[in-house]
Amino acid sequence: MLIAQRLALGFLVLFVVSLIIAAGVDALPGDLCQEMQGQGATVETLKACREEIGLDKSLPVRYVEWLGGMLKGDFGTSLANGREISELIGTRLQNTFFLAILAALISVPLALVLGVLAALYRNGIYDRAVNVVTLSSISFPEFFIAYILILFFSVNLGWFPSLSNISPEMSIAEKAYKSLLPALTLTLVVVAHMMRMTRASIINLLASPYIEMATLKGMTRRRIIVKHALPNAWAPIVNVVVLNLAYLIVGVVIVEVVFVYPGLGELMVDSVRKRDIPVVQACATIFAATYILLNMTADILSIITNPRMLHPK
């Protein structure tokens, strides 16, 4: 029931997002034909171009046409080069998910372990060191971290390639090898948030009476934290982890540019720059859907870990 309600709401949000995007791209100065022809545009060629791709029709007409196609599962074609959008997006979407999964596989376990350890040895040297390192890495801009990694691992040591130009025919191992530097960059960016939340929510619970009881029973600190505190701390941690997963999918444009990784972000930026509305719409819909689905997952997971939430007061 809850899931169905959430899904219905999600579709409503998607619809609103698509409206905002259509209006937003249309409000930008210039249109696709001007951007495609750049300095070389003339009045005549602009007119021919607009007629050919239907830009002479009004925005509501174009939007309704797009929505109609979308409901039938047809993304339409790119205005700029006439390619099927599903074909344009297909491999790029896989690449984006591949990078996100790789980064998540590294960063989530790492953040949880670091966070639990930080709670265990809180205010000690280890805790401070972990905090300083992760907070510094989140404070640097992504491209800076990326360049530093490239400098050490690719230019000086030569272990990893500086370009992550993966293609569909490569094996998973080869793809993972080529994508490791961007995944590490993303890891360094997201790990602090998840680690700090793990640490904070565990420490929060450590003041509760039942933990005091456990301490009085003579349990080891490690057992108290892992067996008693952590299960009750899951809800906020899961929320932060999922939020970061969403970031790994939708927020990686800069990393894509630095490593020349063929993901969805760059496609969207290029399309916004050229005012290719159907492609922007398709990307935005995918990104919005990712956010909605992941948020829903977070809610469901928190409920599973904490049955009390099933019965709101």
Partner 1 sequence: MNEIQRLQKKFEAGRISRREFISRATAIGAAAAVPGSLFSGPAAAAPKKGGHFKLGLGQGSTTDSLDPATYLDTYMQTIGNAVYSYVAVVDNNGDIAPDLAESIEPSPDAKVWTAKIRKGVEFHDGKPVTPEDVIATYQYHMGEESKSAAKSLLAAVTDMKVDGDNVVFTLSAGNADFPYIMTDYHLGILPTKDGKPVDPTSGIGSGGYAVETYDPGVKSILKRNPNYYNDDNAHFDSIESLVIKDVAARTTALTTGEIHAMNRCDLKTVHLLKRQKGLQVIQTTGTQHYSMPMITKQAPFDDNNIRMALKHAIDRETIVKTVLRGYGQVGNDHPIGPSQKYFNKDLPQRAYDPDKARYYLKQAGLDSLKIDLSAADAAFAGAVDTAVLFKEHAAKAGIDVNVIREPDDGYWSNVWMNKPFCMCYWGGRPTEDWMFTTAYAAGAEWNDSFWSNDRFNELLLAARAELDESKRRTMYYEMQEIVSNEGGVMVPMFASYVMAASDKIGMPKLAANWDMDGLRAMMRWWMV
Return residues touching partner 1 (CB under 8 A).
28-30, 33-46, 48-49, 51-52, 78, 80-83, 88, 91, 147, 150, 154-155, 158, 161-163, 165, 257-260, 262, 266-267, 270-271, 273-274, 276, 279
Contacts 24+ apart (CB under 8 A), 215-222: 221/120, 222/120
**Residue 258 C-beta: closest distance to partner 1, Å:** 6
**Residue 117 C-beta: closest distance to partner 1, Å:** 35
Nearer to partner 1, 11 or 152 (CB): 152
**Residue 87 C-beta: closest distance to partner 1, Å:** 10
**Residue 46 C-beta: closest distance to partner 1, Å:** 8
Nearer to partner 1, 21 or 292 (CB): 21
Rounded to 5°, angle at Cα 40 from 37 and 43: 80
Residues 252, 264: Cα–Cα separation, whole Å: 9
Q: Where are the beta strands (DSSP E) in 58-156?
A: none
Nearer to partner 1, 81 or 136 (CB): 81
**Helix, strand, or coil (residue 77):** strand
Nearer to partner 1, 99 or 116 (CB): 99
**Residue 99 C-beta: closest distance to partner 1, Å:** 15
- Cβ contact 303:1 at 8 Å: no
**Residue 164 C-beta: closest distance to partner 1, Å:** 10
**Residue 301 C-beta: closest distance to partner 1, Å:** 35
Helix axes 230-250, 85-120, angle to 10 degrees: 150
Sign of CA dihedral 272, 278, 282, 284: positive
Token couple for 2: 């809850």
**Residue 311 C-beta: closest distance to partner 1, Å:** 49
Compute φ and ψ for 224, nearest 5 degrees: -60, -45
- Going by C-alpha positions, the residue among 84, 83, 25 that lies closest to residue 55 is 25
- Cβ contact 267:283 at 8 Å: yes
Nearer to partner 1, 91 or 94 (CB): 91
Nearer to partner 1, 79 or 195 (CB): 79
Nearer to partner 1, 117 or 268 (CB): 268
Nearer to partner 1, 80 or 248 (CB): 80
Residue 12, classified by CB atoms within 10 Å of its CB into exposed (0-12), middle (13-18) or buried (19+), is: exposed
- Going by C-alpha positions, the residue among 251, 35, 228, 260 that lies closest to residue 164 is 260
